[in-house]
Chains A and B, each alone.
Chain A
């Protein structure tokens, strides 16, 4: 009921934006309207930080022929909306023409929304506090090595609407419930940290995320330095594997940078870029997953797109601007940056990249290596990789030495360097243990040859 009321409000504001555009003699326009309720509670050793509010705003794109302008405002006030349309119009008139612009989305058939859970919408603050109290309790273990665990839980629900003067008027709603834990432990002259989290479209059972983070952080105490620079295989559990691949795939599959001629994969379409057992697709249509929306951030229908088949690159991802320039059309991959999506122009990004799982689980993969490095958690520095060449160098703070098929001991932070694109060809194993992650890419355990490890 509440979500449908918000949907109606979003569509009304969208309609109003089109009406004002007409009144203000704007040739063509696109309105992106968002309204999201969020409640978040953070806890750190008796200290809290809480926020409860409604994010709402409007992003307007105006086109005068092939001149485009963009303006935004927070809130839905009529005067602000009119001023924003005028600003976007003024910017468009002052901007040079971009001959590649082919118009806003004209029509769109909304797909499935993610599963909506009214229990999240109806969740009282007191219930959230109760969940936090439980997490605090489970994280309060009797171990002097535990420095503390930072905890966060929250809900987000709402949606967005897109309307264009070309005839598009669509919306998409979502609900989310999440919890995270970040544990810090201390041993003899060393500190260790680890994460635990859970997130989903429906109300989650958050129990266990605190103890899981603490166990991981404790397990890593007693680390030894690697003490040399070696070139041996690396084994990445699903979270670290997702971190390794997410950033560079997000850049490498961007059809916009293909058009702009600065994408490292631009000449590789229909070529072998990965091990022949590697299959990858982008899927925004699975209603069980956090990434599922009925339409993308420009109003285009979201779909499932084959990206890599048997190691061969089959497609790039496109929005409604670059798709037509490339001659491929939009793949429903226009995204805007959270949490104030209305402030951002559409950019191209994956809905949810999914690697087709293999047959072996983590233990079986580890058992297959005489010498390797096993990496858990969030390696640092992937965001600072060379997106163009694919060269990366990350620091793994939760790494372990593997000898004769077994984890021997934790390692002091190690630096792992390699090339992302070479890594796709050097894939030794894709695991069977996929887990649902709130990241752009969903992976299982990966084992990769030829990385350089220093530490």
Chain B
């Protein structure tokens, strides 16, 4: 659809909202295309394309927000949607004590198109399938795999935004994700290994050997093979070297979510009212950023039309701030941080993360292993979970014992758990590497909105004590 036509429809929604009594209106349009290929056991199990196109309208009445949405891009449907949004905003107003009030801001007119050499949409299906086949072939060179899976996912399209300030913002989301997985059988169990990359980049990214399908496949096969003879992680408290992937998950799942101001402003987060306090060691610096040099998800604007920037949440252990939308920033007398995000037009935007990571330090990886001495190296993760009290559990899908300052035997799946505010007091060293990634298969989940593309990562962290679960 032409941008001018869509902007016109969005302006009409804003105007109608005001006529019906709204104090402020935001109207959004998404037109996203998602493509998935699942190549399991060398057969195409899924080949699909999805079009997510629709409009969402958020209205505010005396500070009370109401949201509605429609996939019908017509004036009539948008009028009805605006009316529905206003209806629920008005009805819930008596329940409110927290008013969503914005400060006055200038109108923004901006258009940001992510530039890449080869856009995924220009590459044919066969070429993408061939990447999966090459990855799988390399995995099978490494291990006698009982089962293999290659997955390709891409998301791209247009996002348009208009609000009562007459802002008009257009930008183009883009991400791809390629994964190779292998499963092998032993007499008593099954072992698996996987590797993948997810970035907001063009297809030229795969020309670099470290990211090529061949390298990913080789890693998946190699890591699967070493799991066959892996030893169980000894349960109990250990020193650990937490690799970039798990460090990213920790920064995101445990600390990042606690920093989201919908939790903070109600006092539900354990780090509410603690700005200025020394919560972690001098090695703990945590950042949330819209566009990073190192990669991750490209996010120039959030879904309230706020330009994203770099938000330092924790600097050398001291809590500096939180992740805001416009209303929480106004309430807490600070600047919005561009963290109001929605997964699709079907959902209202809520405080969510951008690209969240630990800042690198100054020791090398080898020095970090030596510093751990005896403990665990957690290199890969299959994700984690956290509770609002700060309790976390993260699964280590690839890990190794560290003995006498050297990485030795691979360990079976182990779960690291603890309390994030205690964890960041245990960080005693940070490496000088940096790896940030995003994902199409998976992402952030909150309030029923899953999977939202986010970026996460960082360096490796030396941790003096973490609880490992296992038999």
The chain A residues found within 8 Å of chain B, CB to CB, are 39, 41-57, 68-77, 80, 83-84, 87, 91-92, 94-96, 98, 100, 125-126, 129, 132-133, 136, 147-148, 150, 182, 184, 190-193, 229, 260-262, 264, 339-340, 343, 345, 380-381, 383-386, 388-389, 391, 393-395, 397, 413, 415-419, 452, 454-455
B68–A47 contact, CB under 8 A? Answer: no
Our pick among B51, B192, B388 for the contact of A80 (Cβ within 8 Å) is: B51
- Name which residue of chain A comes closest to B46, CB basis: A345
- Name which residue of chain A comes closest to B233, CB basis: A393
**A69 to B48 CA separation, bound complex (whole angstroms):** 6
Selected interface stretch from B91-99, B163-171, B290-298, B371-379: B91-99
What does the 1/0 interface line of B176-214 toward A look like (CB < 8 Å)?
000000010000011010000000000000000000000
Is B267 part of the binding interface, using a Cβ–Cβ cutoff of 8 Å? Answer: yes
Beyond A44-B266, A76-B71, A386-B412: 16 further Cβ-contacts under 8 Å? A49-B65, A50-B88, A50-B89, A53-B346, A75-B72, A98-B44, A136-B95, A148-B267, A182-B388, A345-B48, A380-B392, A391-B471, A415-B235, A415-B467, A417-B235, A417-B470
**A388 to B91 CA separation, bound complex (whole angstroms):** 49
**A263 to B351 CA separation, bound complex (whole angstroms):** 39
- Name which residue of chain B comes closest to A185, CB basis: B389
A47–B190 contact, CB under 8 A? Answer: no
**A50 to B57 CA separation, bound complex (whole angstroms):** 12
Is B405 part of the binding interface, using a Cβ–Cβ cutoff of 8 Å? Answer: no
Question: How far apart are A452's CB and chain B's nearest CB, in angstroms?
Answer: 5
CB within 8 Å of A: which B88-119 residues: 88-89, 91-92, 94-98
**A385 to B397 CA separation, bound complex (whole angstroms):** 10
Question: How far apart are B188's CB and chain A's nearest CB, in angstroms?
Answer: 9
B393–A52 contact, CB under 8 A? Answer: no
Residue numbers in B under 8 Å from A383 (CB-CB): 383, 385
Our pick among A42, A48, A125 for the contact of B96 (Cβ within 8 Å) is: A48
- Name which residue of chain A comes closest to B390, CB basis: A191
Size category of the B interface is 35 or more
A133–B95 contact, CB under 8 A? Answer: yes
Residue numbers in B under 8 Å from A386 (CB-CB): 412-413
Our pick among A45, A393, A397 for the contact of B389 (Cβ within 8 Å) is: A397
A91–B47 contact, CB under 8 A? Answer: yes
Is B75 part of the binding interface, using a Cβ–Cβ cutoff of 8 Å? Answer: no
B262–A44 contact, CB under 8 A? Answer: yes
A125–B91 contact, CB under 8 A? Answer: yes
- Name which residue of chain B comes closest to A68, CB basis: B47
Question: How far apart are A48's CB and chain B's nearest CB, in angstroms?
Answer: 5
Q: Provide a sorted-by-A list of 29 A–B residue pairs whose CB atoms are within 8 angstroms.
A: A44-B262, A45-B267, A50-B66, A50-B67, A50-B88, A50-B92, A52-B84, A52-B88, A68-B47, A72-B48, A80-B53, A96-B44, A98-B45, A147-B268, A184-B389, A191-B390, A193-B388, A380-B385, A381-B393, A384-B383, A388-B183, A388-B190, A391-B412, A394-B415, A413-B391, A416-B469, A419-B471, A452-B235, A454-B236
**A345 to B40 CA separation, bound complex (whole angstroms):** 15
Is B339 part of the binding interface, using a Cβ–Cβ cutoff of 8 Å? Answer: no
Q: Which of B46, B65, B89 has the most CB of A within 10 A?
A: B46
CB within 8 Å of A: which B32-90 residues: 40-41, 43-54, 64-73, 81, 84-85, 87-89
- Name which residue of chain B comes closest to A455, CB basis: B467
B48–A71 contact, CB under 8 A? Answer: yes
**A380 to B388 CA separation, bound complex (whole angstroms):** 12
A261–B146 contact, CB under 8 A? Answer: yes
B43–A96 contact, CB under 8 A? Answer: yes
Is B417 part of the binding interface, using a Cβ–Cβ cutoff of 8 Å? Answer: yes
A384–B98 contact, CB under 8 A? Answer: no
Residue numbers in A under 8 Å from B45 (CB-CB): 98
Residue numbers in B under 8 Å from A87 (CB-CB): 49
**A135 to B292 CA separation, bound complex (whole angstroms):** 43
Residue numbers in B under 8 Å from A71 (CB-CB): 48-51
B415–A393 contact, CB under 8 A? Answer: yes
**Given the known A-B contacts A49-B447, A91-B49, are A397 and B98 also in contact in the complex, defined by CB atoms under 8 Å?**
no
B346–A262 contact, CB under 8 A? Answer: no
**Given the known A-B contacts A53-B68, A384-B384, are A74 and B52 also in contact in the complex, defined by CB atoms under 8 Å?**
yes
A43–B95 contact, CB under 8 A? Answer: yes
B469–A393 contact, CB under 8 A? Answer: yes
B70–A48 contact, CB under 8 A? Answer: no
B71–A57 contact, CB under 8 A? Answer: yes
B85–A52 contact, CB under 8 A? Answer: yes
A51–B348 contact, CB under 8 A? Answer: yes
B69–A53 contact, CB under 8 A? Answer: yes
Is B147 part of the binding interface, using a Cβ–Cβ cutoff of 8 Å? Answer: yes
Residue numbers in B under 8 Å from A393 (CB-CB): 393, 395, 413-415, 469-470
**A418 to B147 CA separation, bound complex (whole angstroms):** 25
Residue numbers in A under 8 Å from B469 (CB-CB): 393-395, 415-417, 452, 454
A70–B48 contact, CB under 8 A? Answer: yes
Residue numbers in B under 8 Å from A261 (CB-CB): 41, 146-147
Our pick among A77, A148, A416 for the contact of B266 (Cβ within 8 Å) is: A148
**A182 to B222 CA separation, bound complex (whole angstroms):** 43
Our pick among A39, A45, A74, A92 for the contact of B53 (Cβ within 8 Å) is: A74
- Name which residue of chain A comes closest to B66, CB basis: A50
A47–B96 contact, CB under 8 A? Answer: yes
Question: How far apart are B318's CB and chain A's nearest CB, in angstroms?
Answer: 20
A418–B471 contact, CB under 8 A? Answer: yes
Residue numbers in A under 8 Å from B417 (CB-CB): 380-381, 395, 413, 415
B235–A73 contact, CB under 8 A? Answer: no
- Name which residue of chain B comes closest to A60, CB basis: B48
Residue numbers in B under 8 Å from A380 (CB-CB): 385-387, 391-393, 417
Our pick among A70, A129, A150 for the contact of B47 (Cβ within 8 Å) is: A70
Is B365 part of the binding interface, using a Cβ–Cβ cutoff of 8 Å? Answer: no
Q: Which of B73, B85, B183, B393 has the most CB of A within 10 A?
A: B393
Q: 6 tightest CB-CB pairs across the interface, nearest first? A: A46-B97, A75-B71, A415-B469, A393-B415, A74-B71, A393-B469
**Given the known A-B contacts A133-B95, A415-B469, are A72 and B236 also in contact in the complex, defined by CB atoms under 8 Å?**
no
**Given the known A-B contacts A50-B89, A136-B95, are A397 and B65 also in contact in the complex, defined by CB atoms under 8 Å?**
no
- Name which residue of chain A comes closest to B190, CB basis: A388
Question: How far apart are B267's CB and chain A's nearest CB, in angstroms?
Answer: 6
A46–B96 contact, CB under 8 A? Answer: yes
- Name which residue of chain A comes closest to B327, CB basis: A47
Residue numbers in A under 8 Å from B470 (CB-CB): 393, 417, 452
Our pick among A69, A75, A132 for the contact of B54 (Cβ within 8 Å) is: A75
**A397 to B43 CA separation, bound complex (whole angstroms):** 42
**Given the known A-B contacts A77-B72, A380-B391, are A229 and B235 also in contact in the complex, defined by CB atoms under 8 Å?**
yes
Is B126 part of the binding interface, using a Cβ–Cβ cutoff of 8 Å? Answer: yes
Is B427 part of the binding interface, using a Cβ–Cβ cutoff of 8 Å? Answer: no
**Given the known A-B contacts A184-B389, A339-B448, are A74 and B67 also in contact in the complex, defined by CB atoms under 8 Å?**
no
B266–A72 contact, CB under 8 A? Answer: no
**Given the known A-B contacts A44-B262, A53-B70, A339-B448, are A384 and B92 also in contact in the complex, defined by CB atoms under 8 Å?**
no
CB within 8 Å of A: which B411-438 residues: 412-415, 417, 419
**Given the known A-B contacts A52-B88, A84-B51, are A260 and B66 also in contact in the complex, defined by CB atoms under 8 Å?**
no
**A417 to B468 CA separation, bound complex (whole angstroms):** 10
Q: Which of A92, A95, A419 has the most CB of B within 10 A?
A: A95
**A261 to B45 CA separation, bound complex (whole angstroms):** 14
CB within 8 Å of A: which B262-319 residues: 262, 265-268, 270
Question: How far apart are A336's CB and chain B's nearest CB, in angstroms?
Answer: 12
A72–B51 contact, CB under 8 A? Answer: yes
B390–A51 contact, CB under 8 A? Answer: no
A381–B64 contact, CB under 8 A? Answer: no
Q: Which of A80, A136, A260 has the most CB of B within 10 A?
A: A260
Is B350 part of the binding interface, using a Cβ–Cβ cutoff of 8 Å? Answer: yes
Q: Which of A56, A92, A391 has the most CB of B within 10 A?
A: A391
Residue numbers in A under 8 Å from B190 (CB-CB): 262, 264, 388-389
**A46 to B89 CA separation, bound complex (whole angstroms):** 14
What does the 1/0 interface line of B140-153 toward A look like (CB < 8 Å)?
00000011000000
